[in-house]
Amino acid sequence: MSETAPASVHSGWRWATIALAIALVVLAVGTWWTYELDRGGAMASQASGGMGAEDSGGGMAADDSDGAQGMGGMPRTDVRLPPVPAYYEGERLFFAHPAVSDSEIATTLTDMMGGSPVLTEPSLSDVPDEATAEVYVFANGITGPGPLGHQLDVFPSAPGDFDHRSLREVVLVSWEDESRARELTSAAEVEQAETAGSVSFERPGVVVNAPVLEWPGGQR
């Protein structure tokens, strides 16, 4: 009669077979994974080499040599308008004056900006009054960095105000008694001085294109 192996022996062989099968699967997966990694690295290396060749041949590197890209894909440049300080409601703002209707004022402003050209555009003086705001320019008084050698200009309005306009009619402000001149930093102060008879206004018919670049609470 044949002897029958104990159940524990059969159970041991069964678990050994399962363990061996699992080991073979793990080995196969590991071998495949290593192969794929090696192949992927080789492809990445080839791709990198290809891009480098394109760069050296005038591909992407040529684009970079043309300068950084600006809005709408246009080349970015360092061209900008020189900022000019002025007063608005007791605080500083900065504006530019690329063009003015009067040639003499254009020369004065160009000299003030160290040679940065301010263009003469006579047609600016034909703009309707409702399309312009005012700018107070001091013709005498305290010495300062203003366009006529006196204090800074005063803007009655800035971006966000209902009466703001980039085109400005020049209002010349003259002190009646220069010995009593003081710095005025808001349109309200200028108008109060005019009402009191301390200053007088003159409107020479000059219009300047004066876009505001930075103002209290905002900037372009």
**Chain-wide mean pLDDT for the chain?**
80
Look at residue 211 and tell me whether its pLDDT is greater than 60. Answer: yes
Q: Are 164 and 158 in contact (CB under 8 A)?
A: yes
Q: Is the pLDDT of residue 160 over 70?
A: yes
How far is 148 from 23, CA to CA, in rounded Å?
92
pTM, full prediction: 0.66
Question: Which of the four pLDDT bands, split at 50, 70 and 90, describes residue 82?
Answer: confident
Percent of all residues in the chain with a pLDDT value above 90, rounded to a whole number: 62
Q: Which of 76-90, 121-135, 162-176 has the lowest mean pLDDT?
A: 76-90
Question: Per-residue pLDDT averaged across 169-197, rounded?
Answer: 98
